[in-house]
Structure 1
Amino acid sequence: MRRRDVLRMTAVAGAAGVLTLDTVNFAGAVDRTDGDGSRREETRTVRGHLPTGAPDFVYVPVEVPSGVREIAVSYTYDKPPVPEGTNGNACDIGIFDQRGTELGGAGFRGWSGGARTEFFLRSDAATPGYLPGPIRPGTWHIALGPYTVAPQGLRYGITVTLRYGASGETPKPVYPPQRAKGRGRAWYRGDNHLHSIHSDGKRTPAEIAALARAAGLDFLTTTEHNTTSSHGAWEGLWGDDLLILTGEEITTRNGHVVAMGTDPGVFLDWRYRARDNAFGKYARAARRAGGLVIPAHPHATCIGCNWKFGLNEADAVEVWNGPYTPDDEVTLAEWDNTLVAHAQGRGAWLPAVGHSDAHRDPDVVGLPQTVVLADDLSREAILAGIRAGRVWIAESAEVGLAFSVIGGRGEHAGIGERLRVDRTSPATAHLEVTGAPGCTGSFITDQGTRYTAPLSSSGSGTLTWQTTPDNAAYIRAEVRHPATTGGLPGPMAAMTNPVFLGPA
């Protein structure tokens, strides 16, 4: 990288967090020809150095001439030793075509993050994470994402190969249907945060579908990091018993968000931070595409995972991500505080959901799973159920749960609903649990945990507790294992969204 590039980086990074380097041209590149002298492929390698404090995205323009049928890219970067407690080098990669790199993704053609060191694109095929399509002439851009840079800086090398010849035909993607057979109005189990070989997962869509069925799931959502390439990869894997929704995990530098149930093929951009005040725009784009906006693992400890965008644009919150940990406990407490605010008339409440975020063995698909009361097993009905808060979360399909609150005159409210009774009227909470041996059940209100009782040795039991709206603005239920960490309650086995009490 030349000195003028460093100067330009300093100027641009403060405004947009991007840097565009000099254009890669293929004049003088390694030229391999066929016997008749016609070009077969050309290769060019460029190298550079990024200093600590490099912008979030570094674009390398590549001039692509006509007649190219395939682009192949590989890259390397150094990983020098760093002092303890200091971040080393980590650099992601992707590509944009001749339509440009503007936010919104018109030119987006793929992203593999740090999961791959090479990829290719052509009309009829592409590396998972990338979108097949014509290789049209113009200025393409390889996108580097220097996630963390060591004190010594980051030295990289990018090799670009252009292969010439006739283009193949781009296949029309086959997307999953919007509805499965289902059981009419019922509770349906799903896992809506999953990764395959189309981002940084190790499982194929076929393997994930098989694991979902084995876990007793009725639906799943494919949510790869910053790409939609998996949307057309599930042909033959859905059925009457399994609804497959499409989505994306929008993976920014200030938190990750699951865009659940978006229209197939709709890409949502990730290239912004909280300070850019852009999240609302892309959250609204997700909803225009028919999806839900769900902040993922808001208090995870991985770099860039902490949620910094606030909850004003969210439709639900992932309070439980994979095996239950102290990170989830913090998220749960924060979410519970939002219920108190809603009970005080300060804004809408956000339903809680739980997903596995499974990537590879031994990650368990369906640990946890979101259980939704929906009118049928369809995209529209499932999303409506989540949006309304008719949701509880379980560690597996072995756990069964029923929760409701009954008024003194027989009034009834279920999960996500309001029991509309006078503030001094009695309200009785009922919780029935199966499949949770060794666990305890509890009722939680805006005053905290108010009642706890053990379940039977078989894991079954019924808990009943009475209060009034004056003493409880809402009631929700938890089922927990015995404590394993000092100072913290036991890991969650199941939990519900609240029932609110009192007049609206």
Structure 2
Amino acid sequence: MTTAIQPTQTLFEARGQVSPLPRVHYVQHEFEVPVGVTRLGVTLRFHKEKRCQLFLSVFGPHGYRGTRMNPGAVGDIRLELTFGPGGASPGALAGEVESGTWHAQIDVESTEETADYLLTVEAGFGEVAAAPLPEPVVVNGRPGAGWYRGELHAHTHHSDGRASAGVLAGAARQYGLDFLALTDHFTHAGWGEIEGQAGPDLAVVRSLELTGHRGHANLHGLREWVSPFVDEPGGKWGINDVARAVREQGGLFGVNHAFSNSLGWRYHEFDWSLSDVFEIYHHLEGPSNAAQLTFWDGLLRAGHRITGVAGTDSHDPHTGRHRLGQVVTVIGAASLTPTGLLAGLLAGRAYVSLGPELRFEAEAGGVRAEMGGEVPLAPVRLQLELGRLAYPARVFVMKNGLYHTHLDLPASEQTVRLDFEDPAPVPGYYRVEVYARPPQSDFFGGREWQNTLLLSNPIYVRSEP
């Protein structure tokens, strides 16, 4: 039987102020938690009229316990995290409230105004019922090679999304996805919930969105939480350290929406050899997608074999441009499992689709290769199979990021097979782009981002025969 919790006791209270100058990235407050606390609540209150992005994170004696954010709100803002063995608030990790030194971190992502804040910590005492243990994950995907459609960028109410993990997974199934990566900002509080939604028809990947002050990145395939707090000037933990830590866990590091103005990528010290994937198509970014595609070509020409992926960045999986399934990353994987999907991504066996299906191979010097593979330096034959062309389309073959050739196709429900020849290859790569075509034929361009239907990953050409 559960004993009622006694009235709360205020353990700590601090007032402070943030302003545009001097620039402060993190504000730390330490507080002591005595023995016997069974519920802990940490609350940050402030008022904003313009852009004042403050996020609250809490750390216990043994490490990270959660983050709360509400970036789009104005007026009186209240960010709250509660912890206890009986459960936790969104963004927080349930569990025992350890006695000892805790600290609250105010992440000053950005501010255009001076704002006063109040931080309070309250404790509850008494017995509480332990939270029920989550059902063990029995099945997360299924064996069998195939080309699997899914989403690599989605949020729940554990960060700034509206949906629960159950609603997100239900939407993924409704819109025909095979896999889903949960990429909540900062926190991994939703991992257990999303894994509880997995099954033979839906594989789920433990991911996290690093939400830095100079850009965002997805950390895919984590076993354990990796600190995304990389913005302390002169600090010992930076963006390259995060990428290395992700790789040490067998995960993949990927830069998100690199040209999204103040949310774009500005970590100029980043070592691009540590990037595994890159968002070449972001469903909310509009014309920035053209810049992302061009920048990716620059990375490829520099010798970085980085896999291009899509991201819906869904915060409400049934609504508008956030709805799942409008753009997907299709991965050629040995199995529909987190391990199989990550291996397929790392190998470059993937393409971005807003509808069509693709098979893309090359043959040169007696060697055949699919996306992510390579052929020797010899006359090249490219072979494409395109299916589900709902619109008249223009198919481009790109050579080292530049135009090589194109072909116009009518809409068709049948699979179309195409061959292209290049008798004079150079070291580098080929990739394919497909765009919807207006009905009239005086269409001289064709690579307008708003007409994108498909973007392939490269097939590489070695520098030797």
Counterpart AA for 2:420: W
Q: Distance in 1 between matches of 2:463 and 2:344?
A: 23
Partner SS state of residue 249, structure 1: strand
Aligned residues: 441
1:249 deviates by: 0.9
Deviation digits for residues 355-398 of structure 1 (CA, Å, limit 9, x no counterpart): 21111132122332111111111222211111111111112xx4
1:258 to 212, 215, 218: 218
1:449 to 403, 425, 429: 403
Counterpart AA for 1:202: R
Q: Which runs of 5+ in 1 are unaligned?
A: 1-33, 82-87, 100-105, 343-347
**Which of the pair is proportionally richer in strand?**
2
Alignment of 1:11-410 (within 5 A): 40-43=7-10, 45-52=13-20, 53-80=22-49, 88-97=51-60, 99=61, 106-114=62-70, 117-151=79-113, 153-169=114-130, 172-174=133-135, 176=137, 179-182=140-143, 184-234=144-194, 236-263=196-223, 266-273=224-231, 276=235, 278-303=238-263, 306-308=266-268, 309-323=270-284, 325-342=286-303, 348-360=304-316, 361-362=319-320, 363-395=322-354, 398-407=355-364
1:54 deviates by: 4.1
1:93 deviates by: 0.9
Q: 1:31 — aligned with what?
A: none
Q: Distance in 2 between matches of 1:242 and 1:381?
A: 13
Q: Distance in 2 between matches of 1:270 and 1:373?
A: 29
1:178 deviates by: 7.0
Deviation digits for residues 164-216 of structure 1 (CA, Å, limit 9, x no counterpart): 1125436555564574224x221111212110111110011111111111222
Q: 1:103 — aligned with what?
A: none
Residues 437, 446 of structure 2: 8 Å contact kept: no
Deviation digits for residues 430-478 of structure 1 (CA, Å, limit 9, x no counterpart): 3424234133211001261222222213376444321135357321101
Q: 2:370 — aligned with what?
A: 414
**Distance change >3 Å, CA 431–CA 421, structure 1 → 2:** farther
The higher-RCO structure (CA 8 Å, 6+ apart) is: 2
Q: Distance in 1 between matches of 2:140 and 2:34?
A: 44
Q: 1:479 — aligned with what?
A: 434
Q: Distance in 1 between matches of 2:459 and 2:264?
A: 34
* TM-score calculated relative to the size of structure 2: 0.86
Deviation digits for residues 18-38 of structure 1 (CA, Å, limit 9, x no counterpart): xxxxxxxxxxxxxxxx99xx9
- The structure that has the greater radius of gyration is 1
1:337 deviates by: 1.6
Q: Distance in 1 between matches of 2:212 and 2:422?
A: 44
* TM-score calculated relative to the size of structure 1: 0.80
Partner SS state of residue 158, structure 1: strand
Residues 175, 234 of structure 1: 8 Å contact kept: no
Q: Distance in 2 between matches of 1:439 and 1:482?
A: 5
Q: 2:75 — aligned with what?
A: none
Identity %: 26
Which is further off, 305-314 or 213-222? 305-314
Counterpart AA for 1:89: C
Which is further off, 277-286 or 355-364? 277-286
Counterpart AA for 1:336: D
**Distance change >3 Å, CA 456–CA 241, structure 1 → 2:** same
**Distance change >3 Å, CA 393–CA 80, structure 1 → 2:** closer
Q: 1:9 — aligned with what?
A: none
Q: Distance in 1 between matches of 2:209 and 2:24?
A: 22
- 1:498 matched to 2:458? The reply is yes
Q: 1:24 — aligned with what?
A: none
Residues 294, 401 of structure 2: 8 Å contact kept: no
1:503 deviates by: 5.3
Deviation digits for residues 16-66 of structure 1 (CA, Å, limit 9, x no counterpart): xxxxxxxxxxxxxxxxxx99xx96322365322223324211112222222
Deviation digits for residues 254-275 of structure 1 (CA, Å, limit 9, x no counterpart): 2211111111xx1111111397
Q: Distance in 2 between matches of 1:500 and 1:120?
A: 51
Which is further off, 241-250 or 293-302? 293-302
Alignment of 1:418-429 (within 5 A): 418-422=374-378, 425-429=379-383
Residues 300, 306 of structure 1: 8 Å contact kept: no
Partner SS state of residue 332, structure 1: helix
**Distance change >3 Å, CA 377–CA 124, structure 1 → 2:** same
Counterpart AA for 2:274: E
Residues 426, 463 of structure 2: 8 Å contact kept: no
Residues 55, 108 of structure 2: 8 Å contact kept: yes
1:421 deviates by: 4.9
**Distance change >3 Å, CA 429–CA 304, structure 1 → 2:** closer
Residues 396, 407 of structure 2: 8 Å contact kept: yes
Deviation digits for residues 285-319 of structure 1 (CA, Å, limit 9, x no counterpart): 21222211111112222446545424121112121
Partner SS state of residue 74, structure 1: strand
**Distance change >3 Å, CA 428–CA 313, structure 1 → 2:** closer
Residues 438, 459 of structure 1: 8 Å contact kept: no
Partner SS state of residue 185, structure 1: strand
Counterpart AA for 1:48: G
- The CA RMSD measured in Å over matched residues stands at 2.8
